Amino acid sequence: MAITTLNIPIERAEVSKIEQVDFDNLSFGSVFTDHMLVCDYKDGQWEPPKIIPYQAISLEPSAKIFHYGQSIFEGMKAYKDSEGQVWLFRPLDNFKRLNISANRMAIPELPEEYFMEGLKTLVKLDAQWIPQKEGSSLYVRPFVFASGKGFHASPADEYKFLICLAPSGSYFSGKVKVLIEEKYSRAANGGVGYAKAGGNYAGQFYPTQLAIRKGYNQVIWTDDHAHEFIEEAGAMNIFVRIGDTLITAPTSDRILDGITRKSVLDIARDEGIPVEVRKISVSEVVEAAKNGSLKEMFGAGTAAVISPIAGFGFKEVDYELPEIEDSYASRLKKRITDIQFNRSEDKFGWRYKV
């Protein structure tokens, strides 16, 4: 990382909330640390970031975020190893993707120094909030939204960039059951599916609620045209193992370039696992389930790292996946988390010390 002289001002919280937190029973993303980073875009430029106590934000009713949805975010985690050292995982990839999203949503791009130094300073300040229980970590949420006011349908002239931290337990526990979507689409060609825009996730909620009512945990998204190819699993990238080969869909206008996805692919190749990045048809997955060659399906993303899929539904028929010892999902998750928690060699250079 580049050497910087950026000196971020810190206004410390008068009283910490940490004593009120039960770190042995953390839900995901519902408890927040003492501080947050704030950075404003005004008069055509980003002002220097600052760190203040975690607090509510005041916005006018005419703020454009409420009307035109200019909002993007990232998801990251901070980890503490057995010696108390603090680590991030591929943070520069998150910064680059945030600016890709910003560009697509007509939001001014952030300076790298503001993001990286702001992130490091904030995590270091609230490092005592990083849980050390197995499966837990400090979830990091950088986000940008339109704070400029006006009802005219155009990009805002003012924006806010924030980073908030949330000590969190596991995102999913155990395996999930999914429904392959036949009607609704997560994203379309030429759209914003590749950006981490807030609206992408809002649009997922209704179809997911319908699936939950049918007894499923999540939706497998299919292409927007014929619903012929599987693309993502809920808010995660999806992997399918047929025989010994691990398959995932290529990124596109519709599919997010997931950082965990890229890590899974690199580690799988390093382990000698046959990997294919190509379109996967629903009919291929169903046929593999019927003939017994479908061994595994799992989602990959920051929150859950890897979430095994126990079974899927399609056209009113449920298909169960076999229980496998030494599954790809468990092997790959262990490799990733061992790197994240500084328990193993990091031959890829992904770990970043705070």
Tens of pLDDT, residues 260-276: 999 999 999 999 999 99
Report the candidate in 32, 31, 41 with the shortest Cα–Cα distance to residue 13.
Answer: 32
CB within 8 A of 37, min separation 6: which ones?
8, 49, 50, 51, 118, 119, 121, 122, 161, 162, 163
Report the candidate in 290, 279, 289, 285 with the shortest Cα–Cα distance to residue 225.
Answer: 279
CB neighbourhood size of 187 (10 A): 24
Q: Which tens digits make up the pLDDT trace of 130-157? A: 998 888 999 999 999 999 999 999 999 9
Tell me: pLDDT of 1 over 60.
Answer: no
The answer to whether the beta carbons of residues 108 and 158 sit under 8 Å apart is: no
- Grouping H, G, I as helix, E, B as strand and the rest as coil, residue 294 is strand
Tell me: pLDDT of 6 over 90.
Answer: no
CA distance 289 to 314: 11
CA distance 230 to 111: 36
Query: All domains of the chain, ordered by start, with CATH?
Result: 18-168 (3.30.470.10), 176-340 (3.20.10.10)
CA distance 52 to 114: 15
CB neighbourhood size of 284 (10 A): 18
How large is the average pLDDT for residues 43-67?
98
pLDDT at 91: 98
The answer to whether the beta carbons of residues 106 and 184 sit under 8 Å apart is: no
Distances (CA, A) of 6 to 111, 180, 192, 253: 12, 48, 33, 35
How large is the average pLDDT for residues 100-113?
98
CA distance 258 to 236: 8
Q: Which tens digits make up the pLDDT trace of 273-331? A: 999 999 999 999 999 999 999 999 999 999 889 999 999 999 999 999 999 999 999 99
pLDDT at 133: 86
Average pLDDT taken over every residue of the chain: 95
pLDDT at 144: 98
| Structure tokens that stand for 93 in this block | 């990839």
- Tell me how far the alpha carbon of residue 223 is from its chain's centroid: 21
Query: Among residues of the chain, what percentage have pLDDT more than 70?
Result: 98
pLDDT at 134: 83
Tell me: pLDDT of 4 over 90.
Answer: no
Query: Among residues of the chain, what percentage have pLDDT more than 90?
Result: 92
CA distance 104 to 247: 28
pLDDT at 5: 58
Tell me: pLDDT of 172 over 80.
Answer: no
How large is the average pLDDT for residues 106-114?
97
Q: Taking the chain, what is the end-to-end CA distance rounded to the nearest angstrom? A: 11
Confidence band of 2 (pLDDT split at 50, 70, 90): very low
How large is the average pLDDT for residues 85-97?
98
How large is the average pLDDT for residues 16-36?
94
| Structure tokens that stand for 235 in this block | 């808010």
How large is the average pLDDT for residues 224-234?
93
CA distance 177 to 114: 41
CB within 8 A of 287, min separation 6: which ones?
none
The DSSP call for residue 63 is B
Distances (CA, A) of 217 to 78, 179, 193, 321: 27, 8, 22, 15
CA distance 328 to 109: 37
Residues 302-316, buried b or exposed e (16+ Cβ, 10 A)? bbbbbbbbeebbbee
pLDDT at 33: 98
Place of tokens 């209704």: 206
